[in-house]
Structure 1
């Protein structure tokens, strides 16, 4: 099984999405900034992920992407196969003559290796990657807070801007209100 950069970036972006979605879609722009990946590249990947039924998209203000299923129900293999344009059932990396030649030269080594890699990737869920990232200290999106009044929030008075404290006018109209100073 061949895992390209495309597959690696997709797994990373899906992990980011899973870590940061909190009852609302996550925009690809924010994922792009956090991951340091091109926005147009992520758009291509998420289009394939949406067609595979792994993410759902929401248009408009506040739109973005959300997982189509719970994180523990999405296997890493599904993500990779979706962006590599392969199906799990259709995955046959080599033709029959190539398999026969490999078996003759190295026995079952490479055929078995590919099968085990795919099996392993099917056993790792997106939730497993989320837990691993959190254990390594990755900061997730904070839970949305309920709005509270300033009086009850414990927040003290807001400091006035420097310009207001120095009583320097910040507009042409405020300049007109200043007393005239005579110049001699």
Structure 2
């Protein structure tokens, strides 16, 4: 399974909203500019996230988007499934060789376990730790 730009950019949107949680609405324009992405493309991605109840839109001059629940309650798996569909490395049928089918099921379940155990809060925490603990090189 290859995660497309839909899933990757969708996680970018959600991580930005999580990082700014409690600060009020965030515009897609600011996210697009920060990450050098197309605002129009982000608009296409935020619609299914809103329909799935993961984000709320706020109208008006100072409007934008906010998470509909805490970052600890939203997993990467939810975001990926909304934007990419079911998680599966390959399409398989009951007629497939049982050994191969078992392999595909174990791979699918492992990917799902990682995505479903990774919250937006943990992604933000990891991102912030990476910025603080950057390496110092001396020549």
TM-score range, shorter chain: 0.7 to 0.9
Answer 1 or 2: which has greater helix percent: 2
Where does structure 1 differ by over 3 angstroms across 4 or more consecutive aligned residues?
none
Matches of 1:37 and 1:107, distance apart in 2: 38
Q: Gaps (5+ residues) in structure 2? A: 133-139
Deviation at 1:5, TM superposition (A): 2.0
Counterparts in 2 of 1:20 and 1:102: CA distance versus 1, 3 Å: farther
**Which residue, out of 94, 104, 107, partners 1:113?**
107
* Alignment match, 2:33: 33
8 Å contact kept, 1:50–1:57:
yes
8 Å contact from structure 1 (residues 18, 130) kept in 2: yes
Bigger RCO of structures 1 and 2 (CA < 8 A, at least 6 apart): 2
Give the structure-1-normalised TM-score: 0.65
> What is the CA distance between 1:16 and its match in structure 2?
1.4
Instruction: State the distance in 1 between where 2:102 and 2:48 align.
Output: 33
Contact preservation (8 Å) 2:89, 2:104: no
Aligned partner of 1:96 in structure 2 is 93
For 1:30-73, what per-residue CA distance to the aligned partner results, in whole angstroms no more than 9, with x for missing partners?
A: 00011111001100110010001000000111000000000000
Structure 2 counterpart of 1:3: 3
TM-score, normalising length from structure 2? 0.84
* d(CA) in 1 for partners of 2:10, 2:108: 20
1: CA distance, partners of 2:21 / 2:31: 11
d(CA) in 2 for partners of 1:87, 1:94: 11
Query: Secondary structure of the residue that 2:96 maps to in structure 1?
Result: helix
Question: Is the partner of 1:81 in helix, strand or coil?
Answer: helix
Q: Which moves more between the two structures, 126-135 or 13-22?
A: 13-22
* Secondary structure in structure 1 of the residue aligned to 2:57: strand
User: d(CA) in 1 for partners of 2:123 and 2:10?
Assistant: 13
Distance 1:59 1:102 in 2: 53
